[in-house]
Structure 1
Amino acid sequence: MAKTHSAHEPLLLNHADVKNPPRFAPSAFVKWVLNIAMWLLFIFWVAIIFASPSESAEKFTRNWTRAASGSIYGFSGSLFLVYSGPILAVAFLAIASLIIAGEKELQLKKTSKYPRFRLRTFPILVDGPFGVVSAAEFIGICLFVVFFFWAVYGYTLQNLNLLPELQVPSELKGIVMLELSGLRFGSIGLYFLAFLFLPITRGSVLLSIIDVPFEQATRYHVWLGHLTMFVFTLHGLFYLIAWGLQGRLLHEMLEWKDYGVANLPGVISLLAGLLMWVTSLSPVRKKQFELFFYTHQLYIVFVIFLALHVGDFVFSIAAGGIFLFVIDRFLRFCQSRRTVDVISATCLPCGTVELVFSKPANLQYNALSFIFLQIRELSWLQWHPFSVSSSPLAGKNHVSVLIKVLGEWTAKLRSNVSDKSSAEGEKELLNQFCSNITASVEGPYGHELPYHLTYENLILVAGGIGISPFLAILSDILHLTKEGKPCLPKNVLVIWAIKKSDELPILFTLDAESICPNFSEKLNLEAYVYVTRESDPPLEEGKFYKGISSSVSPPSKGSHMSVLVGTGNRVWSGVYVILSVVGFAILMALLDIFYINPMNIVSWWYKGLLFVGCMIASVIIFGGPVIYLWHLWEKRILNAEEAADGRKDDVLQHSASVNMAQDNLVPKDHAISRRMYYGARPNFEEIFTSVSERWGNVDIGIIVCGPETLQSSVARECRSQNLRRGSLQPVFHFNSHSFDL
């Protein structure tokens, strides 16, 4: 009789079985206290920003800065402590919480016996400028919109109260009001800027602690970016109109004064921001991705000249999030300098390329992770994100990705792989080809927890190459089933829409029977494949499964992926972040004591430049040695592990399996129930209704990976099914795994 699992039993155990676990763990209590402290600090930070447009907050800020003016850090330090200190403190607490949690976070639990709605997986908005928006995301959007209108209202009241005190002639009141409004919009933009860089901090502990992956957080950066640039554009536009009405437009734009706001750096910063904004719009970004990518590097110009424009103490309002981004960016820079061995490069008949990279055994990831990849033979500057297609249980020393031709960069990669593979038949030449691919990898990034294992019922909806992460999910489930470890998914339905049948080999590279023989006794696995641009099956079915060209070789350079970012060591990454922040405080104190105060430095723009310089210098001077020691520690651990179990054996075993897969890719998994549909697209209403009748009153996890139209269609049907749900029908939980820059 099969063992049943209670709602409080772990669904995924660690390598070592734990017997008789204690009823109360001190670490759990400490983690709970840290989480409460984090939320209180975060709410305090948001409350300060939300209250800033009020007159009482203005008085509090003036009194606070006046009281702190005699301290070492002065005005800038006091503002930094109030507006940036809380988010840095939250990061410190998050580091402590993640370190205490350790690998216990990998123990997944079913949280409820009965199906229920969740804010993060219930789609509210489906069509529109924001794409698919969940209930939780909708609440966040509403909060930012409410803050914008509240800030405009609060600052307008302050302007109206301030105008009589200025004793301005009546004919100039309109111009002064324009300038005051421009000033206020600049303040609102700084508050938004405080949040803007948080979602794109790829290895951020803030994202890890709430389990929001970077590919999802990028959407928030896009939304905030549009709102921030809209506000900053109003800020600049109001000033330009006021200066133009006074006939001194050119003079004011070129002004760069020492005491007060420097206008010319502000103009440069705004122009850089506008260029990034225009090229990031969807029509430009999708048709001219390289233009978007290169112009977006102007964020360096935008930030530095913003600091020159407003000075150090005003820049302190938004400095916390920017500083966390700088810390993460330097760490990613250090990781990306390393080249990684390409174990194999395979070109499928449809043109999709599979690359397999060497990784250390201590680098952890899950089946929903992704990496950023650079191929130096194609471009020294471009980095492209790809979902992993391999399960972490399939091999501890390699990770693979599937790359479909969708642009110039991917077309060059396929051409290089296919040309080399077809022209070079000798094994030594093939090995030489692999060694000549100079690849660098950032990541892996993604969810902290493999949430696909929290659903007993899964529907995986893919469009084209979107099947890639689902191969990793299926492999993950099959390996857990084979090893006899607790695995919640029991019903899995794969819905895959492709244009032509020559893409089918991508799915059939997963040999379920070889991974877990007789898996159908424990897992109900179905696949619906829709070939949209072919009305009939090929005349010789199975012919397109053959003819794969590939090159396979063991590692030649001995280089593997670094664990510095992504799911790297929490202790080392925590020490790196903390020392960088502490180093910034030390450098600012030394700068004030030995340079700014003795030399009587009063130039706002110069102090702003010194402020940014201290941020960068602290990461290099204080964080750099930590990264170096971390690298030495990683190298020592890796050498010990290789000596213990032999890394090359695992790599060679994977190479052999790749060769076997090439010899015969005709599908052999007769236990998988497959349905082929030609000349049709998935009817999600019909499919979901059928699933509701079969699976009943359960939670169903929907994971979608594909174009925006596919995501919208699935989200719309999930919303429809949930809204008209009966008492004995399932709850559909929408999850998107699509990365759309």
Structure 2
Amino acid sequence: MEYFRIEDDAWSPQMQNGEERAVMHCIVLILQPTRSTVDEINRYIMIWIMMPTNLFWLHWLPNIRAKTDSTYFGQKGANILIYTFPILFIAILGCLYLHLDKYGDDTAERKHSYRTSLSQPVIVKGPLGIVSGIEVFFLVAFVSLLVWSISAYMYQMFKNISKESASKMEESVWEVRLESVALLLGLVGNICLAFLFFPVARGSSILRQVGLTSESSIKYHIWLGHTALALFTAHGLCFVVFWASTHQISEVLKWDKVGPSNVAGEVALLSGIAIWITSQSPVRRKLFELFFYTHHLYLVFILFFIFHVSFSYSCIMLPGFYLFLIDRLLRFLQSQQRVSLISARTLPCNAIELNFAKDSRLTYNPSSIIFINVKNVSKLQWHPFTVTSNHKTDPDQLSVVVKCEGSWSKKLYEILSSPTPADRLEVSIEGPYSPAPNTYLRSQALVMVSGGSGVTPFISIIRELIYLSNMNHKIPRLLLVAVFKKSADLSMLDFILPLSGTSQDASRLQLQIVAYITRDRSPSTDNQKLPRSIFFKGSDLEQPITSVLGPNSWLWLGAIISSSFVIFLLLLALVHRYYIYPIDHNSNQIYSQAATSTISLVFLCVSVMITATISFLWNKKQYKRITRQIQTTETPTPTATPATESWHYMVDRELESVPHQSFTEATEVHYGKRPNLKNILSECKESNVSVLVSGPKKMRHDVAAICSSSLAKNLHYECFSFNW
């Protein structure tokens, strides 16, 4: 069909007529959700519920193995079918749906209808922080699954333990029960491990399908990690106590050729404990690099976990790790490219705006996240920042704002604010990673509450709304409540408009800005340096920011998942049929479990590396080809060479869309006080008010408490949090 031709910008909505868009919209409706996807989810949930029962182990699993056992996969085939295939199938369908989702005009509105009530805060104070209604639902469901699994395993194991059965094994009843408890703790810990990697796959189609990003769901990774390692630690300690009490302490050094390897389990547990200790908040905040480097021990943990339980059983946790592995490799490939940094803008409040060249086909939603590495500052450190530019108003440029609050950002500011700044900075990026499409346009009013550098997510939102207002879209009334420590920080509001200026009329936006300065009781009279702009020289080694997999990134991601999985299965089938199977069926030999697991793991990594690398290089080649075509058709015009200049300028000079005054001067400023958020929000009389919060933990909690009260039925809460 003509509609499915994928080349260059063939999928661009601007190039399609009404009939084509109608066809695409119908496809989106068909895929949301397909019955097969729902059936797969239901089967997957049922498997987890029934797993602790004898019905599963004595009837379901043997029946499935009998139907799937073959000379090509053996018993691994059943586990791959039960645990791995359903999630990868859902991820592939999710990629296809997200690729076509941009052609469904009312998709965001349909999603909003069931998310609004469930996304409201239910728990505001406590060890879990701010928890919404839908999070409470899934948390209760997950805890119920853990409790059910523990109780079901314990019942099945304990009901056959008696003095007679224990005496036959020359053990006491408590020792047999201790061994059973140790085993069930490991089995329940595997449930947490199965979901551990889903939240940290930044480009996951599964997260995007449920409206989450890796930044917003990182807390789930933390909760799962704490629970899993607590269970695994108890699992290991119980076995050590059991071996010591039964005079089998030599089991600690046992590595069986067939069956669980104790040594591998101990290595996995020790690496997990090292990750666990350095992940604690005091260590992570004071010694972040120690936390960062120690976290890479997850590779050791996964490797020896597979050696411990075998690759066949590790299929339980394989789907999440498989999707994370693809995501991590794509991030690595993207990070090896040097991107073109066009200019930087520094303000007296120790804030920096970095402006990068980008491919005009790269699109992203407001409040997207990008990870940046500046080798001039540190070759190893990566830091996340909110994208402040908008791809509609800045099609060839991507901007981020950096507030100097740590050693890395302070060193970057020193480099840029020095009398002789560097001609260029060597920068690499990962991303941008977009959140789900925003639904605040359906609101009658939008209140944005920010603290300090928390204003940056709202800059991209305001720029988006400025563009939409000029396109005659209906825009809600806007109120920005910005809280700063010092009066110099007010200049952060000047980032609302881009460095190059804008042709859009910002006066069409119903925007009210109210700023609160908490430490200064009057405007600062200190002599400060003037803001200035620095333009960087270009390099042939640098290139604009592009999507890691091109304009059709979701489609390519689905292709990588499906093709790599097929290659993995083919390699596994061939080796098992013609190498492992003949050895296993020789009465004198048994193929080592560790060797089988190693081969399977190598095949998995090789299949992912091949498909992801080919897809990345293909899209990179296509981008260069299209860029050359554009360059040959355009006629260059002689211009000045600002890339060789470094000069100071007044901020008001660029704010042409706000006549005679900057956003800072148009702001209502209150000195020496904090905002009364309860009064401010209570004055919003509209029936549908979206409240977005980005700032310190206490500010988020205060706003969440107000929005969750029974008197605030019209307030719908959403927060941006980057504090783990």
Structure-2-length-normalised TM-score: 0.89
Comparing 491-500 and 353-362, the one that deviates more: 353-362
CA–CA separation in structure 1 for the residues paired with 2:91 and 2:234: 32
CA–CA separation in structure 2 for the residues paired with 1:614 and 1:143: 35
**Equivalent position of 1:7 in the other structure:** none
Q: Verify: 1:701 aligned to 2:694, yes or no.
A: no
Structure 1 residue aligned with 2:485, among 499, 520, 532? Answer: 499
Deviations 1:7-32 (A, max 9, x none): xxxxxx95469658759954244323
Mapping of residues 270-669 of structure 1, within 5 Å: 270-419=269-418, 422=419, 424=420, 433-435=422-424, 437-482=425-470, 484-486=471-473, 488-511=474-497, 515=502, 519-520=506-507, 522-539=508-525, 547-553=530-536, 555-557=538-540, 558-564=542-548, 569-600=553-584, 602-643=591-632, 662=651, 664=653, 668-669=661-662
Tell whether the 8 Å contact from 2:481 to 2:514 is kept in structure 1 after alignment. yes
Tell whether the 8 Å contact from 2:535 to 2:642 is kept in structure 1 after alignment. no
Tell whether the 8 Å contact from 2:501 to 2:654 is kept in structure 1 after alignment. no
**Letter in structure 1 aligned against 2:718:** N
Tell whether the 8 Å contact from 2:531 to 2:650 is kept in structure 1 after alignment. no
Deviations 1:326-352 (A, max 9, x none): 111111111111111111123221212
Aligned to 1:676, the other structure's residue is in SS state strand
CA–CA separation in structure 1 for the residues paired with 2:158 and 2:165: 12
After TM superposition, give the deviation of residue 478 of structure 1 in Å: 0.9
CA–CA separation in structure 1 for the residues paired with 2:263 and 2:481: 55
Tell whether the 8 Å contact from 1:360 to 1:638 is kept in structure 2 after alignment. no
Tell me: CA distance 1:716–1:648, structure 2 relative to 1, closer, same or farther (3 Å).
Answer: farther
Q: Verify: 1:206 aligned to 2:177, yes or no.
A: no
Deviations 1:502-546 (A, max 9, x none): 1111112334996477644x4321111111111222247xx75x6
Q: Verify: 1:674 aligned to 2:676, yes or no.
A: no
Tell whether the 8 Å contact from 2:493 to 2:664 is kept in structure 1 after alignment. no
Aligned to 2:522, the other structure's residue is in SS state coil
**Letter in structure 2 aligned against 1:531:** I
Deviations 1:457-481 (A, max 9, x none): 1111111111112111111111222
After TM superposition, give the deviation of residue 134 of structure 1 in Å: 0.8
Deviations 1:178-218 (A, max 9, x none): 11211111111112211111111111111222331221122
Aligned to 2:154, the other structure's residue is in SS state helix
**Letter in structure 2 aligned against 1:638:** T
Structure 2 residue aligned with 1:138, among 117, 136, 139? Answer: 136
Aligned to 2:715, the other structure's residue is in SS state strand
Tell me: CA distance 1:67–1:175, structure 2 relative to 1, closer, same or farther (3 Å).
Answer: farther
CA–CA separation in structure 1 for the residues paired with 2:45 and 2:132: 21
**Equivalent position of 1:238 in the other structure:** 238
Deviations 1:536-584 (A, max 9, x none): 22247xx75x612442135333412231159752222222221111111
CA–CA separation in structure 2 for the residues paired with 1:76 and 1:702: 50
After TM superposition, give the deviation of residue 643 of structure 1 in Å: 4.6
After TM superposition, give the deviation of residue 501 of structure 1 in Å: 1.2
Tell me: CA distance 1:619–1:660, structure 2 relative to 1, closer, same or farther (3 Å).
Answer: same
CA–CA separation in structure 2 for the residues paired with 1:212 and 1:649: 46
**Equivalent position of 1:193 in the other structure:** 193
After TM superposition, give the deviation of residue 63 of structure 1 in Å: 3.5
**Equivalent position of 2:154 in the other structure:** 156
Q: Verify: 1:724 aligned to 2:708, yes or no.
A: no
Aligned residue pairs, count: 698
Aligned to 1:691, the other structure's residue is in SS state coil
Tell whether the 8 Å contact from 1:179 to 1:239 is kept in structure 2 after alignment. yes
Tell whether the 8 Å contact from 2:24 to 2:100 is kept in structure 1 after alignment. no
Tell whether the 8 Å contact from 2:268 to 2:304 is kept in structure 1 after alignment. yes
**Letter in structure 2 aligned against 1:123:** P
CA–CA separation in structure 2 for the residues paired with 1:652 and 1:471: 29
Tell whether the 8 Å contact from 2:356 to 2:397 is kept in structure 1 after alignment. yes
**Letter in structure 1 aligned against 2:305:** L
Aligned to 1:702, the other structure's residue is in SS state strand
Comparing 366-375 and 443-452, the one that deviates more: 443-452
Tell whether the 8 Å contact from 1:310 to 1:605 is kept in structure 2 after alignment. no
Tell whether the 8 Å contact from 1:116 to 1:731 is kept in structure 2 after alignment. no
**Equivalent position of 1:95 in the other structure:** 95
Tell me: CA distance 1:99–1:108, structure 2 relative to 1, closer, same or farther (3 Å).
Answer: closer
After TM superposition, give the deviation of residue 640 of structure 1 in Å: 3.2
After TM superposition, give the deviation of residue 303 of structure 1 in Å: 0.5
**Letter in structure 2 aligned against 1:181:** V
RMSD over aligned Cα atoms: 3.2
CA–CA separation in structure 2 for the residues paired with 1:164 and 1:68: 37
Tell whether the 8 Å contact from 1:106 to 1:449 is kept in structure 2 after alignment. no
Comparing 204-213 and 177-186, the one that deviates more: 204-213
Tell me: CA distance 1:586–1:551, structure 2 relative to 1, closer, same or farther (3 Å).
Answer: same
Tell me: CA distance 1:25–1:350, structure 2 relative to 1, closer, same or farther (3 Å).
Answer: closer
Tell whether the 8 Å contact from 2:189 to 2:232 is kept in structure 1 after alignment. yes
**Equivalent position of 2:184 in the other structure:** 184
After TM superposition, give the deviation of residue 615 of structure 1 in Å: 1.2
Aligned to 2:367, the other structure's residue is in SS state coil
Tell whether the 8 Å contact from 1:335 to 1:562 is kept in structure 2 after alignment. no
- Percent identity, aligned pairs only, is 29
Tell whether the 8 Å contact from 1:98 to 1:570 is kept in structure 2 after alignment. yes
CA–CA separation in structure 1 for the residues paired with 2:645 and 2:478: 29
After TM superposition, give the deviation of residue 394 of structure 1 in Å: 2.5
**Equivalent position of 1:8 in the other structure:** none
Task: Return 5+ residue gaps in structure 1 as ranges.
Answer: 1-12, 425-429
Tell whether the 8 Å contact from 1:344 to 1:552 is kept in structure 2 after alignment. yes
Comparing 704-713 and 508-517, the one that deviates more: 508-517
CA–CA separation in structure 2 for the residues paired with 1:386 and 1:182: 44
CA–CA separation in structure 1 for the residues paired with 2:719 and 2:647: 30
Deviations 1:120-157 (A, max 9, x none): 43001111121111101111111111111111100000
Aligned to 1:528, the other structure's residue is in SS state strand
**Letter in structure 2 aligned against 1:140:** F
Deviations 1:86-119 (A, max 9, x none): 1011112112222333x31566665599x99824
Deviations 1:640-688 (A, max 9, x none): 3455568999998999999766475898147996321112122111111
CA–CA separation in structure 2 for the residues paired with 1:515 and 1:262: 64
Structure-1-length-normalised TM-score: 0.87
Aligned to 1:167, the other structure's residue is in SS state helix
Tell me: CA distance 1:574–1:171, structure 2 relative to 1, closer, same or farther (3 Å).
Answer: closer
Tell whether the 8 Å contact from 1:202 to 1:566 is kept in structure 2 after alignment. no
CA–CA separation in structure 1 for the residues paired with 2:105 and 2:278: 40
Tell me: CA distance 1:658–1:565, structure 2 relative to 1, closer, same or farther (3 Å).
Answer: farther
CA–CA separation in structure 2 for the residues paired with 1:32 and 1:391: 28
Aligned to 2:448, the other structure's residue is in SS state strand
CA–CA separation in structure 1 for the residues paired with 2:300 and 2:604: 15
Tell whether the 8 Å contact from 1:459 to 1:701 is kept in structure 2 after alignment. yes
Tell me: CA distance 1:681–1:40, structure 2 relative to 1, closer, same or farther (3 Å).
Answer: farther
After TM superposition, give the deviation of residue 632 of structure 1 in Å: 1.4
Tell me: CA distance 1:112–1:173, structure 2 relative to 1, closer, same or farther (3 Å).
Answer: closer
Tell me: CA distance 1:670–1:89, structure 2 relative to 1, closer, same or farther (3 Å).
Answer: closer
Tell whether the 8 Å contact from 1:461 to 1:703 is kept in structure 2 after alignment. yes
Tell me: CA distance 1:119–1:641, structure 2 relative to 1, closer, same or farther (3 Å).
Answer: farther
Tell me: CA distance 1:578–1:663, structure 2 relative to 1, closer, same or farther (3 Å).
Answer: same
After TM superposition, give the deviation of residue 599 of structure 1 in Å: 3.5
Tell me: CA distance 1:176–1:651, structure 2 relative to 1, closer, same or farther (3 Å).
Answer: farther
**Letter in structure 2 aligned against 1:734:** Y
After TM superposition, give the deviation of residue 80 of structure 1 in Å: 1.6
Tell whether the 8 Å contact from 1:445 to 1:567 is kept in structure 2 after alignment. no
**Letter in structure 1 aligned against 2:122:** I
